[in-house]
Structures are given as C-alpha cells and as structure tokens.
Amino acid sequence: MADNRHTKLLIIGSGPAGYTAGVYASRAMLDPLLVQGIEPGGQLTTTTEVENWPGDTEVQGPDLMVRMEAHAKAMGTEIIGDIISDLDLSRRPFTAKGDSGTTYTCDAVVLATGARAKWLGLETEEKFKGFGVSACATCDGFFYRGQEIVVIGGGNTAVEEALFLTKFASKVTLIHRRDELRCEKILEDRLMKNEKIEPLWFHELVEVTGTDMPLGVEGIKVKNVKTGEITELACKGVFVAIGHAPASELVIDQLETHMGGYVVTKPDSTATSIPGVFAAGDLTDHLYRQAVTSAGMGCMAALEAERFLAGEE
C-alpha cells in the first residue's frame, strides 16, 4: 500500500557508513529512518574473516554487520527493509521513492549506498553469471568442492577470494593482468605460500566457455597481454574480483561526482554540492574503501547533518 513517511534525517544504505550514521544521528535525537537497500549490511556480508576492524582481531563480516544493525536500532534508528528507486534532491523536503511504494520525505539525507562489484563486460561472462561465473566467493564457493576454479584480479578482494576458495577447490588459478598485486602484503604472503594457488601473471580473461544444456562453465580463454597469445584453461568456476564501482546512480545527475561516479564532498567534510545532502563511505571514497573509514565518514555525516538541521531551526 502507498504510504508517506517524513523524517528529519533519512539514511540510505546499511553498510558501516549507514549504520554508524544511524548510531550518531539517533544519539543526536534526530529519529533517523535508515533504508537498507538490496544488500542489508553491505559489502562485508559477502566476506568471511575481517581482521582489521579495531577491537576485533578477527570477526566474521556478516556477524559484524548484524551487530552494527543492532547497535543502530538500540540507539533509536528505525531500520526499514526497502530499496530507494528514485531520489529528488531538487527541492526540500527531499523526496525518496521506495520500491515498496512508500514515499519518504526528509529535511536532510545521508547517502551511504557504497559500492558494487565490477564486471569485465564480456558477453560470455554475462551468459554464465550464476552458472559458473560469480563475484562472491563466500556466496558461491561451496559449489566448487574438489574442482578447479579461477579468480580474476590482483587486489585485496581477489586475493582474499582465492585464499577462501582453497577451502573447497582442488586448485585456484589467480589471473592478473600485471605481475604485481595491489593487495596488503600479509595477504600476498599467504597467497604465495598456499600450494593450491597458482598465479598466472600478465593474462586477461577474454572468453568463458561451457555447455548450454545444462548451462555451465567448462573453461576459459585467456590472453597474454604481452604477446597476445590466447590459451585455454579448464575450470568449473570463474570468480571475477576486479574491484568495485560507487553505487551513485540515484544521484549521478544531481550531485557533483568524479573518478567514475564517486560523489564529491567538501574537504574535511561529508557535505556534497547540495546543502542538506551528505555522503559517506565507499560512495565518496576512491582511495581507502575500508569498513573503518566508511564508519568514520558515517559519523561525520550524522554530526554534520545535526549541525545543518540545528542551524535551520
């Protein structure tokens, strides 16, 4: 049923940035509404061990996010299971339309929609998505017990996924377009020591091959970026881990963005090009993209929203 909700502060997104904004905004008595989106808990729900969240030597990503949600709720944030499909920042109160049919209006908004996995854009990648091609090892790794798989990429995500997948797969080939990884050194060490992982340097995926009936992956074709030579590799699974792009589609035409869609914020601030609109986390951050930095920006956004709203009263 169509419904209208007004709030002083609307928070869009339920990753570390959104939930932290919820904690701080609640304690500032702003009675925030937080809309969770399609991925309640955000990117950390797609991983296993998180080893760099201060205070926890090791914590499971999904558990951490359940705790953050409970924390925001306990402080007074109203958590709503909905997805914002349209956001109008042209006049105040700002208006957000939810997939549920609810229209949310608000005096200020914190955008914390984070980032989403990037794909290579190959036709055959699209064809086998969900049938051997995946961007989430934690979600799909279990299906590849005793099989050979490949991981594409050379960052933290690719290396963590390759390591995680060795729990199931008989062999993991890490395919990277250079011969240098951009992951943390501790992860690189673990990768190099793992006998189940074989790096394939200076190669790019050009095609996923497989069967149509039933739809399934049987191998890949890779190109040597130095020589152009194409070789085939047998595998049952392809995990694409080539980074993340900001989820800025709601605001791309309304706010200043840069570097492929990251929302621009003022120096030392989460304020965007529209007064009353604050952006936090991976949506604005092309540099650090960490849970702790996202949470820090969520805190800043809530405090800045509080000051903005107080200044208007």
| Distances from the Cα of 26 to the Cα of 72, 103, 167, 244, 271, angstroms | 8, 21, 41, 30, 19
21 binds ligand FAD (CB under 6 A): no
Q: Considering only residues 61 through 120, tell me which ones interact with ligand NAP, judged by CB under 6 A.
A: 120
**Dist. CA 86–CA 229, nearest whole Å:** 46
159 binds ligand FAD (CB under 6 A): no
245 binds ligand FAD (CB under 6 A): no
In the numeric block, which tokens belong to residue 22?
Answer: 């919820």
107, 140, 282, 285: which one is catalytic? 140
Interface residue with ligand NAP, options 5, 73, 129, 177 (CB under 6 A):
177
- Please report the sign of the dihedral spanned by the C-alpha atoms of residue 187, residue 184, residue 142, residue 128: negative
Interface residue with ligand NAP, options 46, 156, 166, 173 (CB under 6 A):
156
- Judge whether 136 counts as a catalytic residue: yes
Q: Answer for the pair 67, 38: CB distance below 8 angstroms, yes or no.
A: no
Neighbours of 68 (CB within 10 A): 24
Residue 146 class from Cβ within 10 Å (0-12 exposed, 13-18 middle, 19+ buried)? exposed
- Which of ligand FAD, ligand NAP, none is residue 26 near (CB under 5 to 8 Å by kind)? none
Note the residues at the interface with ligand NAP (CB under 6 A).
52, 120, 152-158, 160, 177-178, 182, 204, 242-244, 289-290
Residues that bind ligand FAD (CB under 6 A): 12-18, 35-40, 42-44, 46-47, 50, 52, 83-84, 112-115, 157, 160, 247, 250, 281-283, 289-292, 294
Q: Kindly list the catalytic residues.
A: 136, 139-140
